[in-house]
Structure 1
Amino acid sequence: MSNKPTLTLLKHCPEHIPEIAKWHYHEWGALFPEKSEADFASDLAATLNDAELPLSWVLLLDEQVVGTASILLQDMQTNLDLSPWLANIYLAPAARGKGLGKWLVTQVMTKAQQLGLTKLYLFTENKPEFYQQLGWQPLKQELYEGKLVTIMHWQA
């Protein structure tokens, strides 16, 4: 990494919501077939908080937004008994392969602890090993919108 990454609340730079919504829609639209790109944008707008959930952060590198992360109360139409969720872990293609994903997830896990959260959940279609090396444990697998996903949990 040439320059040090920084994490800032989306609340401080909401002008990036349209670009981020486009990223998220292209990455995960198939898992949420009822949602449009505009729905993704309005979901992001609902996270413009600073001390209460839901929250979203942007990863900045060289003052450019290159990634996102959120902690949401719900992230699936199923498993409504589980909350809160680490979600929207996304890196722009040019930012991948540089260790930024691990840095981003670790930072948000620390933020969760600072907020008093002792447990988080997530679901991933194809990256359970990535999260396991950061201390996450698989909970179960299920078919979600036609895709096999792994639901994982982390305990602070």
Structure 2
Amino acid sequence: MQSNLKIKLLADCPEYISPLAYLWFNELGKAWIPNASVERAKETYRTHANKDIMPMTFVAIYENKPIAMASLREDDGIGNHFSPYLGSLIVHPDYRRRGIGELLINLVKQQAKVMGHDKLYLIALDPTLPSWYTRLGWKYIGMDKLYHHPVTVMEIEL
């Protein structure tokens, strides 16, 4: 699969904004974000179609279908002083456990470093995810809240 997998910036494939908005809504939005909608997600991802500035989104494409994404953002909605953030790391359920998430994380880390940052942060909405991120080298730095949901805040040195 890896040989047929392509990674592009959303800026280079804006035709995938709509399917990515549906992926985000189905996997994160409807469970975690009040008043989430596919239309709002489309608006958000239109702002992520950048090459040189944040926010930007990397898209994993397999057989001409977007199957995963990850974003580099200045913040991720919790209002603290950390920046930048890995956000919206989503792999379609049919393609999980194949290393795609790790691949996207590494691209976001590289981009953050190129942009002059020495750390990257994330918030884990799902309480089962911090152990996975820990195995990838992320460190727990605290808890916060996003829309009344407890979230784990983590960081990694770049």
Using structure 1 for the length normalisation, give the TM-score.
0.89
Residue deviations 1:27-51 (CA, integer Å, cap 9, x gap): 2223220332211111110011101
Unaligned 5+ runs, structure 2: none
Q: 1:91-138 CA distances to partner (integer Å, 9 max, x unpaired)?
A: 111111212211221222122212222211111123112211222111
Shift of 1:56: 0.7
Residue equivalent to 1:14: 14
Q: How far apart are the structure 1 equivalents of 2:2 and 2:71?
A: 25
Q: How many residues align?
A: 155
1:63-112 CA-partner distances (Å, limit 9, x unpaired): 33110010111212x33322211001011111112122112212221222
Contact kept, 8 Å, 1:106 with 1:134, in 2: the verdict is no
**Greater helix share, 1 or 2?**
2
Unaligned 5+ runs, structure 1: none
Aligned match of 2:63: 62
Distance 1:14 1:145 in 2: 29
Q: What TM-score comes out, normalization by structure 2 length?
A: 0.88
Question: Which of 129, 132, 143 in structure 1 is aligned with 2:134?
Answer: 132
CA shift at 1:142, angstroms? 3.0
Superposition RMSD on alpha carbons, in Å? 1.7
Query: Partners of 1:108 and 1:22 in 2: how far apart?
Result: 22
The residue type paired with residue 145 of structure 1 is: Y
Runs of 4+ aligned residues of structure 1 deviating over 6 Å after TM superposition are none
- Which amino acid is 2:70 matched to? A
